[in-house]
Each structure stands twice: as structure tokens, then as C-alpha cells.
Amino acid sequence: MAPNHPEGALAPAKSDELTASFSADRANRVARNAVTSMNVHPAARNVSALRTYRDTFGVSRPRTGKVTNQRHSGRCWMFSAYNVARAATMELLDVDDFEFSQVYGFFYDKLEKFNVGLEYVIETAGLPLDSREVSHLLEHTMGDGNYYPAAMNLIRKWGLVPKDVMPENACSKDADQMNAQLRRLFHKSAMELRRLAAAGAGTGELRAAKEGMVADCHRVLCVCLGEPPLTFDLEVPVGKNCSADAEKIVEQEGGDATDGKPRRLLVDRGITPLEFAERYVPFDPSDYVQLEHMPGETRPFGHVYHRRFADTMAGGVPLKFLNVEFEVLEDAAVASLRAGVPCEMACDVAQEFPRKIEDLPGILATDTMDYEGLFGVDFSMDRAEMLDARETRNTHAMTFQGVELGSDGRPVAWRIENSWGADACRNGYIIASADWYRLYGGEVVVRREFVPPEVLDLWDNAPVEEVAPWTNVGCALAPRH
């Protein structure tokens, strides 16, 4: 007697029928053999399409510096922001390369996150432990992810230092072990604050207790990353067109082995990180507009959003995101690049990206990975549907450095500086087709001058709507890791 199955249950007989018929199809056999021997991406790649993408761009910045490397950490947002900022320093110093210390920024980002996270714990101390708010804080506060404006807050408050003043080390190159200890310390501190609050402690008493907890975090960070410099001596070679203070430039005879001419050095001793940023980073960390493209009925264009618990610095400039049509975002990025100014971008880098393919690396396009042909299944979704289904969000921040425009003036492809080192992708760069970025790209941050007046008016004056992290909009705006 045939077994009875509840309504909606998977019937074994039906599955057996599908299994028996699978190998009768030649395409199924070829796909099975290819995927089981080499995995999905190599089997799905469309070589004919991949080899049509070349690193040639009509609008491209010639002086971009060496490709940076975030290693095994979630600091892409910081690397992207610093890659934008360093363009101004390279121009000022007349050099082809310069890099800020991301470890210095990492130190203070973690310290600020720990502090403001405990402020949120104090704010939510009266909520149940299993409330969404408290659960979110305990799970997400000490991650590596963040946003471009968070990097601007760090620059405004803590300044910058050259990379050799606080270089990469074991914990910055692979942050997992340090992060495990920071999360443990945060969880212990949060529970202690909640116990004090339950016993009747007021906000002042809780903040007094928090000071000792932040001091413990500072100690852990010093052990893992080293002490951040309070002052340092700046000595850096500069070009003949350096526009820094001439009194701080010295010449060293025989210092340049390439042409025998004296080497020019910028020397500024005993300066603070804030003084370095003020003198040698001619870049306004407040001069930006953050544009997002989140189509969908629940995400109307022209609205400005703030994601609750997204601010990672108490007293910093609050984060906000302006949702716009894609053409607005695209035009702003093109205007920035035409002016020779790089800009931050973010996208869902894992979508249709054969990262490990060695012969044709570093290409993001919608026609290079034939998943439908490989599996015989329709995977297609538009961007609004993917955001609704939580299939996509911005997972990686990088830097636009060039764009190819078609005969209609619209982008055809983008040249993107990554932060995975010069050996990754195409000598550290990625080529993204315009249609790929329209589907999987959702953010650019540009200077105000590259945004139309009506968009600036929204950015400056539209009411800011707060969204919870677990809502549809909040998930779409989740920080990249």
C-alpha cells in the first residue's frame, strides 16, 4: 500500500522519478561532471564573454597609488575612504603613491564602537534580554563593518598618520582572534551594565562604570595593534611641485639615485595625527553626499534614512542615506571621475563573480557566468525583488577610478580599485560592466559639487526617517564586512 504523506510534504516517489530521469539528459550529465570536478564558478564561466572585457577606459585617473590590501579583515569601507582621501595628499606632495595607516583608524574605530555600543546598552537596559534591540547589539556591535561617513568621523576626531607610523601587524592582517576577545569583553561589559541598571543604578553611575570597561578595551587594542602615536616625526620624499610649506622642505645631496639630483624631503617633527591631517590632507571630511539606490515599494526615492544603532561614534556626525534613482547615482560618479576625483562605491561583490579564476580574473558582468545554462534553472530577479527577498545588499566597498562611456554618454564599464592587494583580480583592479553595477551596485559617496542642486536640497533638508536594522530598509543598508 502506498504511504500517505501530509499535504505539502515532499513525496519520495516524485523525487525518485526526478532522480531517475536526470541522467537521461545529456546536458545534465555534462553539467554534473563539470561541477562535481571543478565547482560551480569554473563550470559556469562564459569564456567568450570574459575575454571581451579589457582594462581600457576613456575617463581614468592616471595617479592612483599602489593597490592596498585589507588582508583578512572587514576594513574595506576604511580602505576605500582612505584611498579617496589620499588622492588629495598625493597631489599636495606631488608623489605617485602615499598610504595612510589603516591600523591607526582600526584602533579608534574599535574603541569608538565599544564605547558607543555600551551607550546603546545603557539606553536599552530596560528592554528584555531577548528583545530585538538587545539581541542586535549583542550580536553585531563589535564587527569590522562600517560606512564611509564613519571613516570621516574618525578623520575629524583622531586625524590620520602615514602607514609607516603605525604599520600592519598580525592582528590587523587577520582580525578574527582579536575580534573574538573584543566581543567577549563587550558581552561581559554589557551584562554588567544591565545588572547595575536592574539594581537601580542611574545613567551617571552606569557611565562611570563604563569608563573602566572602555579602559579595558583600550588595553586589549594596545596589546593587539600597538599604541597609537600621540605625536610623530614626518619625513617623506616629495616631488618638485610639492605645495606644502616650503620652510619644511629640505634637500639631500645624492639622495635620488635615478637622476643624481638632490632628493626633496618634507620634514615636520613632533606633529600630532590631527595636525598631519590638517596640514597634509587637503580634503574636507564633511564634504560628501551618500547616495543609495534601493528601488521598491517600501523604499521610495527621495527619502533620507538613518539606520538605528548604525552610528559608531558618540558625538560624531550621524549617518544618513539618500535613496535616489540609479541615474542620479551614476551621473554623480561620472562627474567626480571627469573632474579627476575618485569616489567610494559599494556593491554586492559576491554576485556573479568568479574570483578564483586565474586566466580571466577581476571581471564583474552579467554575461560572464552562465548559471542558467549550467543548471537549466531560471535564477533571474530584478534589484527591487532581490532587496525585498534579502538576496542582495552592499557587501564590499571599493573606489571608482575610471569609467568608459558609450556613444550616448552613459557608462559602459567601470574601473574599480579594490583593497585585496596587487596580486588579486587584475593587478588589484576590477572591471565592472555597467549593467552589472546597475543590478548589484547600490552606493556612491561623492563631493557635494558633483550632485545636482535638487538632490543636495533633499540631502540637506529632507526629514530623516529612522529604520530598525531588521526591517526591509535596515537590512538593505546593513554595513559591509
Choosing from 224, 418, 425, 472, the catalytic residue is: 418
How many residues in the chain?
A: 481
> CA-CA distance, 152 to 373, in Å (whole number)?
45
Determine whether 418 is an active site residue. yes
> CA-CA distance, 21 to 37, in Å (whole number)?
22
Phi–psi pair at 475, nearest 5 degrees: -70, -40
> CA-CA distance, 226 to 106, in Å (whole number)?
11
> CA-CA distance, 413 to 55, in Å (whole number)?
10
Determine how many CB atoms are found less than 10 A away from the CB of residue 477.
25
Choosing from 76, 171, 347, 425, the catalytic residue is: 76
Determine whether 76 is an active site residue. yes
Q: Find cell 556593491 and name the residue.
A: 347
Residue pair 104/165 in contact (Cβ under 8 Å)? The answer is yes
- Selection from 91, 65, 78 nearest residue 398 by Cα: 78
> CA-CA distance, 260 to 267, in Å (whole number)?
21
Determine whether 472 is an active site residue. no
Residue pair 148/319 in contact (Cβ under 8 Å)? The answer is no
Phi–psi pair at 466, nearest 5 degrees: -85, 135
Choosing from 323, 396, 425, 472, the catalytic residue is: 396
Cell numbers that stand for 136 in this block: 542586535
How far is CA 416 from each of CA 131, 333, 337, 449, rounded to the nearest angstrom?
A: 40, 12, 11, 22
Residue 226 CB partners (closer than 8 Å, separation 6+): 103, 166, 169
| Longest CA–CA separation in the chain, Å | 98
Cell numbers that stand for 310 in this block: 548604525
For residue 247, what is the DSSP state?
G
For residue 300, what is the DSSP state?
-
Cell numbers that stand for 11 in this block: 513525496
In what order do the strands lie in the sheet containing 232-237?
A: 232-237, 263-271, 249-252
Exposed/middle/buried for 228, CB within 10 Å: 0-12, 13-18, 19+?
buried
Q: Please, how many CA atoms are within 13 Å of residue 124, restricted to the half-sphere of its CB?
A: 22
Q: Which residues are catalytic?
A: 76, 396, 418
